[in-house]
Amino acid sequence: MTERDAHPGLAHPEVAGWLLGSLDPDEAGRFREHLDSCAGCLAAAAELRPVARALGMTAPAVQPPSDLQARTLARVELAARTATARSIWLRWNVRTPSRGVKSP
């Protein structure tokens, strides 16, 4: 038994996206064709289909705010810049002796 046999859902991760409807039309079409020839994905789809249906009933779909992506990317960029600035300051501070401390 291979790793793929033990976990058929891992062999082609598109299974979950296909079941949840999150693949783009081209990906969905290619995966639908793939399903005709892949017993592992067919089994994984059958196993995961009830879970995908249950997820669809747990909460209503919500449209994210139109500026969510821009705000998220701005925060990531700010965090990266802050981390870099902090890292530079810490390196400078460690290398620079404090006032009042005499060098040997």
Q: Which lies closer to Zn ion via its Cβ, residue 7 or residue 75?
A: 7
Evaluate whether 14 touches 48 at the Cβ level (below 8 Å).
no
Residue identified by tokens 């139109």 is 66
Q: Please, what sign has the CA dihedral across residues 54, 56, 60, 66?
A: positive
Residue 91 beta carbon to Zn ion: minimum distance, rounded to whole angstroms: 49
SS3 67: coil
Q: Which lies closer to Zn ion via its Cβ, residue 46 or residue 85?
A: 46
Q: Which lies closer to Zn ion via its Cβ, residue 10 or residue 90?
A: 10
Instruction: Write the single-letter amino acid at 47.
Output: E
Region 4-63 residues binding Zn ion, contact defined as CB under 5 A: 12, 38, 41
Q: Which lies closer to Zn ion via its Cβ, residue 12 or residue 18?
A: 12
**Which helix H or strand E contains 81, and what residues bound it?**
helix 68-95
Residue 56 beta carbon to Zn ion: minimum distance, rounded to whole angstroms: 23
Residue 5 beta carbon to Zn ion: minimum distance, rounded to whole angstroms: 12
| Cα–Cα nearest to 41, from 19, 20, 12 | 12
**Count of residues engaged in binding Zn ion, rule: CB under 5 A:** 3
Give contact residues for Zn ion (rule: CB under 5 A): 12, 38, 41
